[in-house]
Amino acid sequence: MKFLRPRSPMQTLRRLCQAAFFGLFVFLVMLTRHRGDKPEPLLQLFFDFDPLVSVATWLSTHTLAAGSLLALVTIAATMALGRVFCGWICPLGAAHQFILKTAVKFVVLRLNVTK
């Protein structure tokens, strides 16, 4: 029988942060959807912390919004602590981990049933 190794407290904290930020992101997107086309200020702040959004905006419009300078905070934290945004905050990272874990369990169950 295969035993699961216990998770470290830091791994548990990271997953809780990912779930909270994913929930916040979905909530803010749904709130924006019901209020119109203009993004909610909190949702805009969420995107301003993402360095990739800042680079994409700069490349497409050749301008840099003042809020996009918040991405420098993310870059500085990444240089000091590692993959902070992708590992702890990014909703895509959280969705990717959830889908990967679910797919692996589904494949294992499917292999066990077919044997």
- pLDDT per residue as tens digits for the range 50-91: 888 888 888 999 888 888 888 888 888 888 888 777 788 888
Calpha distance 90→20 (Å, rounded): 11
Residue 108 has pLDDT above 70, yes or no: no
The pair of structure tokens assigned to 1 is: 């029988």
Percent of the chain with pLDDT over 70: 81
Predicted pLDDT of residue 1: 44
- DSSP H stretches of helix in the chain: 9-35, 41-48, 51-61, 71-81, 84, 91-114
Q: How far apart are CA 109 and CA 104, in angstroms?
A: 9
CA 99/CA 22 separation, integer angstroms: 13
Query: Quick check: pTM over 0.75?
Result: no
Average pLDDT of the segment spanning 31-58: 78
Q: In the structure encoding, which two tokens stand for residue 9, read together? A: 């407290």
